[in-house]
Amino acid sequence: MNKFLLSVHVLAAIVAIGPVTVAASMFPPAMRRAMASPDDPQATGTVELLHRICRVYATVGVVVPVFGFATASSMGVLGDAWLIVSIGLTALAALVLAVLVLPGQSALLEGGGGGSREATVRLAMVTGVFNLLWAVVTVLMIIRPGSTTGA
């Protein structure tokens, strides 16, 4: 059962979190292009699509911690420090996405946030923090300090 839960957890992370990190990273430069060419429907369509990808896959991404908890519970590692840190960083990444990234994208799409280059730079920075948090969680999941697997 451990292998099944771990497989679903890892696949869910790849399928759900990967697209959010990529689309969120692509959004600020695409938004700058759309602001530079407001009459270009392709540029506008691109940022709308990237925002939709972020929203949908963020929702789908909820399965990642669900299966993560199930996996950790079945492996008996819920109290391990590396997992507690990973859970905290995952919660922080979700908070950054829900409170800063997605609303920032929405504001830029709606013309709020000034539609300025500075707003896209701020969004790019926040998106970078979101991606960095996921990178740290990924490394912790691979290294698992104190692991007895020899990895």
Measured distance CA(85)–CA(110) in Å, rounded: 36
Which of 28-58 are b and which e, b meaning 16 or more Cβ less than 10 Å from the residue's Cβ? Answer: bebbbbbbeeeeeeebbebbeebbebbbebb
Sequence spans of domains, the chain: 2-143
Give pTM, 2 decimals. 0.88
Q: Which residues contact 97 (CB under 8 A, 6 or more apart)?
A: 20, 24, 54, 58, 130
Gap between the Cα atoms of 20 and 51, Å rounded: 9
pLDDT of the chain, 151 residues: tens digit per residue: 888 988 999 999 999 999 999 999 999 999 999 999 888 999 999 999 999 999 999 999 999 999 999 999 988 888 888 899 999 999 999 999 999 999 999 999 988 555 688 999 999 999 999 999 999 999 998 888 766 554 4
pLDDT at 128: 97
Inter-residue contact 130 to 104 (CB < 8 Å): no
